[in-house]
Structure 1
């Protein structure tokens, strides 16, 4: 099952214009936006629903290191209106398209102590940087 992604703040029109510009930031709304073409220097923000209180974590299996540069570790945040202990939140990763070429961004959502159990969710996106 593929994860549903959440659009953070950009309206749909801004998403389209971000794809057309050399620089700027692109925020994925869902994996159905893939395959994805980025321009060299463009930033990519990936946000996936997450709930670490269940023991499940997203793990980057393939970070497309040949075309993307990670801008830091995963950042987890709770929605401001959740107010419930154990409520889910959002895991976010930031990348910069650093080299022209093709790559794959692959993340799995599973409990780290059960590596042989199939992941509960996966996110996979083929990327092209020009």
Structure 2
């Protein structure tokens, strides 16, 4: 392969790799994966263990609206193979990194009718979109 053609091919591959990374999806399951750096346009999927049959729910406290756009409401799923009434499942939210900047994704796991009781769990993640 001629040197100019090889350079053009390598440049094209590098550009494709960068574009694939930029529009890639990041799946987040624990705040130990934080802080996060996202690229504008990148999809963020947050999945947390949940069991609404206990009355506990994940409450969105801060959704980093300055840098993230919500792509819909929470979606709750439970494993089909659990076979137990009242078994827990997963709550999932989808966001798109919309603007460069910094923000915070904060959720608390608590019973909504008990706002003065400390949450049973907290998810707290600092974000940066570039």
Task: Give SS of 1:41's match.
Answer: coil
Superposed displacement of residue 29, structure 1: 3.4
Give the CA RMSD over aligned residues: 1.6
Using structure 1 for the length normalisation, give the TM-score: 0.84
Unmatched segments (≥5 aa) in structure 2: 1-16
Instruction: Please list the CA deviations of residues 104-130 of structure 1 after superposition, one character each: whole Å capped at 9, or x if unmatched.
Output: 000000000000100000000000000
**In the aligned structure 2, how far is the partner of 1:124 from the partner of 1:50?**
16
**In the aligned structure 1, how far is the partner of 2:34 from the partner of 2:87?**
28
2:128 is the alignment partner of 1:123: no
| 2:57 match | 57
| 2:21 match | 21
Using structure 2 for the length normalisation, give the TM-score: 0.84
| 1:30 match | 30
| 1:5 match | none
Instruction: Please list the CA deviations of residues 64-108 of structure 1 after superposition, one character each: whole Å capped at 9, or x if unmatched.
Output: 000000000000000121111000000000000000000000000
**In the aligned structure 2, how far is the partner of 1:92 from the partner of 1:108?**
14
User: Is the radius of gyration larger for structure 1 or structure 2?
Assistant: 2
| 2:4 match | none
- After superposing on structure 2, the runs of 4+ consecutive aligned residues of structure 1 that deviate more than 3 Å are none
Aligned residues: 113
**In the aligned structure 2, how far is the partner of 1:69 from the partner of 1:26?**
14
| 1:86 match | 86
Task: Give SS of 1:32's match.
Answer: helix
* Structure with the larger helix share: 2
